[in-house]
Structure 1
Amino acid sequence: MTSQNSFDFMQLDTAKPPQEVLDLIARGAAFVINHSGGKDSQAMYLMVRKYVPAAQIVLVHADLGEVEWAGAVQHIKSTTAGEPLHICRARRNLLEMIAERGMFPSPSQRQCTSDLKRGPIEKTIRHLGVKLIVNCMGMRAQESSGRSKLATFKLSERNSKAGREWYDWLPIHAMTTDQVFSEIAAAGQQPHWIYAAGMSRFSCCFCVMSNQADLTTAARLNPSLYRKYVDLEKSTGQVMMMPSKTHGRRTLEQITGIAA
């Protein structure tokens, strides 16, 4: 199989998946949609279901516990069509991970992604017992230079074992943020409530990839959880956010201007 690095979803009504994906649909592959409850997952589901029969769609959600925005699972259920939804959890949550390690994840060392999301999701997929799998993820090129370089379709050699044939696909890699919201609106749906409340990111309420505006909004919307992060900064002697060239090392309270 060859990788598709520039699949263009600019024309949302006429765009089709690459031929490799169409062939896998015809072969009856299970299309597993990684669904956080956020806007990108929601738009990805809407795109995939245009081409993949409902009987071939499976949803999987990594439950992040108290650090996840309220109503994630309910939002997934209300914006999908009743396909099987598998909810998985890691052995420890993010706050426990930080306390045990004595440090926060960083943009370059994101154990939160590998341990709390990717690991449990892949384990859940393996336990489905399906032998032909297309693992659908909602990363988009617009989000970062790193994500812009990702192959949008490839064989997962690491997971293609024990008789499994496993492919990773990024259905909305070429979509812009505006197109994501347009796709949701065109389906007559609304994104999760946090976007209207001022957040630009979903998943963890407080994320090491967040900007100052999102951290400030999250602190206002979820003060009890914010207090736990501030307490972890104090108990570990570390700060959650990486120092910047402009401001240097700052605590969450210094970044947001909100006292816990």
Structure 2
Amino acid sequence: MKRSDLMSHLNNLLEPHTIKDFSPNGLQIEGKDNITKIVTGVTASQALIDAAINHKADAILVHHGFFWKGESQQIVGMKKKRIEALIKHDINLIAYHLPLDIHPTLGNNAQLAKLLDITYEAGLELGSAKSIPVKGILNTPLTGSEFAQKIATVLNREPVTSIVRDEKIKTIAWCTGGGQGYIDLAAEQGIDAYLTGEASEQTIHSSREQNIDFFAAGHHATERYGVKALGEHLAAEHKLEVIFVDIDNPV
């Protein structure tokens, strides 16, 4: 498949032009023009790049790419080594951040909901056509402890929890990755529980003082599934060879 055709398909599918982001979405490092094999993963780390080289991949497709807002523009050290390896092996680096979080079927939020048996209802940011956090219904109401155990079983990671309610969880809001700041928005709307990837010190106080159960299931663990689903979509629709490589990360 021509790189230009692949990028056209991805941009039409994920619509990066419709959301403001912290890094460029789409093609970040240009490699070979013809693409037949893609390695997918959460983050464009050196370990993932090395795996792509070993697999003789033509492209790497990730959720967390390069060139983040506020970082140094110098290409030195770790960044230089990563980019040098990609250019040396003529590997394309393609990254989609927020557009992949919010895609209604392939996105991180949608895939996490599917795994945990949650039904999406609406965006949590009222009035936003592209809300990053979302809300819905836990199809089988569970106590906080039961839901924590389900997370641990499904994602293979023990969540950080703040369980403050005695009642079963029925309504839930969630945002994969580093979305802990949205807990206050969920609490304002009277939602029973909030699920994300990370926790900050103040998050626990927000949970306790606003009577909302909180679960942090890991940034990496909650964001494995969007890019995996996107790769499976490309394999099915365009007959590309796609290999998902999960570089373990406890955070």
Q: Determine if the TM-score, normalized by the shorter chain, exceeds 0.5.
A: no
What is the TM-score normalised by the length of structure 2? 0.30
Higher relative CO (CA 8 A, sep ≥ 6), structure 1 or 2? 1
What is the TM-score normalised by the length of structure 1? 0.29
Q: Choose between structure 1 and 2: higher strand proportion.
A: 2
